[in-house]
Amino acid sequence: MLSKKLVDAISDQIQFEYYSAFTYKAMQTYFEAEDLSGMANWMNTQFQEEMAHAEKMFQFVCETGGKVKLMAIEAPRNEYSSILEIFEETLKHEQEVTSRINNLMDLAQQEKNHAAQIFLQWFITEQIEEEANASHIIAKLKRVKEDGRGLMMIDQELAKRVFVPIVE
């Protein structure tokens, strides 16, 4: 059983996961317009992952007897000026997600809710990967700068990413 405070906090995070998904979909549109299909694919995979995260949280609340409160989703930013800016924003966004997940864990620990702590540990581990992925791409983009060949190599690399559904 989850407390009302924990249900409300997870509901807020579910809303933020949907916002994250829409943020990545908006970033995908930039890459589609720039004919960078690999980077567009990477963002679409991010979109799918965020939707899966929201669903995983939704199911957890329901399975523990809570009732999710769905809220309005803020419109994402739709304009960007460069590839590097998008991936820097991606890292910044993922760092915010990490902070939010850590706050959920803090609440679960305060309430001594062991089930919630075990559940949230998966997300904490996931965030390590999310931040590392964005950081690696930023490093590569800085290395190649505006070199078209380097950008095309990165684009081809990012085209290989596929969405892997969450397995329980």
Q: How far apart are CA 111 and CA 131, in angstroms?
A: 28
pLDDT at 122: 97
Is 4-158 in CATH node 1.20.1260.10?
yes
- pLDDT tens track for 68-88: 999 999 999 999 999 999 999
Q: How far apart are CA 166 and CA 164, in angstroms?
A: 6
- What percentage of the chain carries pLDDT values higher than 90? 96
Mean pLDDT over residues 7-36, rounded? 98
Residue 168 pLDDT > 70 = no
Residue with tokens 């523990």: 64
Mean pLDDT over residues 151-155, rounded? 96
Residue with tokens 């590392």: 132
Mean pLDDT, the chain, rounded, equals 97
* Residue 14, both tokens: 């579910």
**CB–CB of 129/11 below 8 Å?**
no
pTM of the model: 0.94
Residue 24 pLDDT > 70 = yes
Query: What distance lies between CA 23 and its chain's CA centroid?
Result: 9
Angle between helices 148-158 and 37-63 (to 10 degrees): 30
Q: How far apart are CA 13 and CA 27, in angstroms?
A: 21
Give the residue, 167 or 81, on which the prediction is more confident: 81
User: 34 falls in which pLDDT band (50, 70, 90)?
Assistant: very high
User: 167 falls in which pLDDT band (50, 70, 90)?
Assistant: confident
- pLDDT tens track for 95-140: 999 999 999 999 999 999 999 999 999 999 999 999 999 999 999 9
